[in-house]
Amino acid sequence: MHKLLFKHIDNSALIVFRIIFGFLIIMESIGAISTGYIRRTLMEPQVTFSFIGFEWLQPLPGYGMYYYYGVMGLCGLFIMIGYKYRWSMLAFTILWTGTYLMQKSSYNNHYYLLILLSAIMVFQPAHKYLSVDVRLNPKIKMISMPNWCALVFILQMFIVYTYGAIAKIYPDWLNASVAEILMKSKEDYVLVGKLLQQKWTHYAIAYVGIVFDALIIPLFLWKRTRVLAFCASIFFHLFNSFIFQIGIFPYLSLSFALFFFSSSTIHRLFLKNKPYYDQQEIIVPKYHKPFIAVFITYFIIQIGLPLRHWFFTDDVLWTEEGHRLSWRMMLRAKSGHSTFKVVDAKTNEQIPIKLEDYLSSKQLRTVSTKPDVIWQFSQRLKRLFAAQGRDVKVYVTTYVRVNGGELKQLIDPNVDLANEEWHPFKHSDWLLPSQQEKLPKD
């Protein structure tokens, strides 16, 4: 274990990764501002559906979120040039985690991955060469790093890709119906729009996705297939970037190749003027016991979290229980519509409401398919009417399709969600089962 974690290797890969990582943070921040993401997701909606338990975490008023993302971009710049590195990295990690927790309407597993990677980077000695910190304090300069600095990224990405492959092994993915649904909205793409509607393309997307996720890390680890793996990664991630517009993730994923190629190769390609370290000393720090304990505990959690949906009743594709933080990326297409019935608890008078008066168009889609968001909106309606001195009950009728299948009722319409408690580690009994009598299609 000591050799695996604490043997020193050349740190060229980590230095280059830090520069790329900081640059991508800058691009993510600029993109959020320039594409209107901040305005649509954090400014225009009357309410953002934060993670349950983090309701206190709300977007800043006015133009505050533009400044918020501006600060994150500045952190990215400081990370890239290695200035006040640890403080900059810690600040970004906290800020990014805040944006992740304060809204769920625009959810992506990649956002969660960036939290993990940022937290890991806080503890990395990534500023020990080619940085402003070294220029200001030459004593911290190093040309080596312990092996765990690379190993932690390799293990993390192995978990991400492996669970991504396993999650795809279910009928709707294997028969390419999910890929077909996902590609329908891409028909107007220049040059490739028609190609993306072909059945063979859908099968290629489905099965290449499984094979890539399952084999990419082993192929990177084997020297003979490393270049092949990198070429496959370039094609795969650029395809995803073009088709799905998923921000910096494809380029961040490509940058992990730095930790698979030999240290000498990375040194020769990127930092050939830097002294090369090849002594392979094993330097065990004084804090090695707690470090090993934390290292092992972290990966036990990472392995365990994606499995938790098996401990809930019914299919995660239907209930969404255990879906998040589980690397279940772009696995299903869900659509539906909801009706919220608000009833005065004293008079039994039904109070008419229009969802459009409360929610953005994207939130309307979310509040029709995500049980936790449906519950949160029911709670919000209860609070809004309580502020007017009225005690209300909220009943929800929701019909949902998964992967273009039969229309089914998701929520028990006889349950008052306004007075139901949320139990994060327990199945919600007001969710109707996925197996039920079929309803006619619209």
Nearest to 48 by CA among 97, 95, 100, 109: 100
| Tens-digit pLDDT profile for residues 343-370 | 999 999 999 999 999 999 889 999 999 9
Query: Which residue in the block uniquely carries the two structure tokens 């709670």?
Result: 379
Assigned token pair, 233: 């990664």
Total Cβ atoms within 10 A of residue 371 = 21
| Tens-digit pLDDT profile for residues 73-98 | 999 999 999 999 999 999 999 999 99
What is the band of 438 on the pLDDT scale with cuts at 50, 70, 90?
low
Indicate if the pLDDT at residue 442 is higher than 60.
Answer: no
3-state secondary structure of 376: helix
Asked if 391 and 346 count as a contact pair (C-beta separation under 8 A), the reply is yes
Asked if 165 and 306 count as a contact pair (C-beta separation under 8 A), the reply is no
Mean model confidence pLDDT for the chain: 96
DSSP at 433: P
What is the band of 439 on the pLDDT scale with cuts at 50, 70, 90?
low
Domain boundaries, the chain: 2-310, 333-419
- What is the total residue count of the chain? 442
pTM of the model: 0.95
Indicate if the pLDDT at residue 441 is higher than 60.
Answer: no
Assigned token pair, 63: 């133009």
Tell me the angle at which helices 177-184 and 199-221 cross, rounded to the nearest 10 degrees.
Answer: 110
DSSP characters over 145-207: EETHHHHHHHHHHHHHHHHHHHHT-SHHHHTTHHHHHHHHTTTTSTTTTTGGGSHHHHHHHHH
DSSP characters over 101-146: HT--TT--HHHHHHHHHHHHHHTS-TTSSSSHHHHH-GGG--SEEE
Indicate if the pLDDT at residue 120 is higher than 70.
Answer: yes
Report the pLDDT value the prediction gives residue 199, as an integer from 0 to 100: 97
| Average pLDDT rounded to a whole number, residues 321-330 | 92
Report the pLDDT value the prediction gives residue 135, as an integer from 0 to 100: 98
| Tens-digit pLDDT profile for residues 256-270 | 999 999 999 999 999
Report the pLDDT value the prediction gives residue 6, as an integer from 0 to 100: 98
Distance between CA atoms of residues 156 and 190, nearest Å: 36
